[in-house]
Amino acid sequence: MKDKVVLITGVSSGIGKAIAQLYADKGAHLVLASRNLDALEKLASALKEKTSEVLIVQTDIANSDDCKKLVSETISIYGRIDLLINNAGISQRSLTMDTNIDVYKTIMDINYFGTIEITKLVLNSMISNGGGQIAVISSVVGKFGFPFRSGYSASKHALHGFFDSLRAEVSDKHIDITIICPGRIQTNISVNAVTKDGSKHNKMDKGTAEGMAVEKCASLIVKAITAKKKEVIIAGNEKKLVWLRKFIPGIYYKLVARVKSV
């Protein structure tokens, strides 16, 4: 990956930040995108000790102009994008009946529409440059539904439909698509999750706190991308729900119906 141009969204913390650190170790030219400019600047400062090239672009991927600026600025400086990692996203902690419809729209704008807009913008460059790779951080709940996360789960299911379709469409254009489905990872995903009225959850889920270390998750993600896997699940015992949903759905339905709190 030395001197390859790697664009990563949602790098201010968690999985995105850990992935950026690993690609810096590999000598990649990094383009880092996040809404949090202060976090971007701090991360870039730390990573410049590992790699000479770090470009930061403050980006709200729910904003179309920001998406266009991110990609155009990257192309104007480097002339290409070798690897796009769509990591930016937001989770949810609220019951469907209680949740304002605008909250669902916000989740879709960030997790789905923002992600596919950046992807479409990057595709043009990759095709003209002879190929590339696109990775998207989905979730195990992109494979099954789970209480208190209906909007989040729906947005991740949408990503699977989009990127599976895209993979088929660009199979003859030397573009590889990797869908990554993390389970419970030790990040602030539950803290930053939106609730029924759009406010932050501001609580750490027990399962998240006891989940896989973010460094291990990031390492497995990079390995999957390097191996050009089409899809990979990175999770602990929760990945068993994927298997149950597919092969013994009756048991899956009973198990998730027992979940009565976030």
* Residues recognised as catalytic: 152
Q: Is the dihedral of CA 71, 157, 153, 244 positive or negative?
A: negative
| Rounded Cα distance, 137 and 14, in Å | 12
Cα separation of 155 and 182, whole Å?
A: 15
CA distance 8 to 16: 7
Strands 175-182 and 132-137: parallel
Q: Nearest-CA neighbor of 151 among 193, 92, 195?
A: 92
Distance between CA 124 and CA 103 in Å, rounded?
Answer: 31
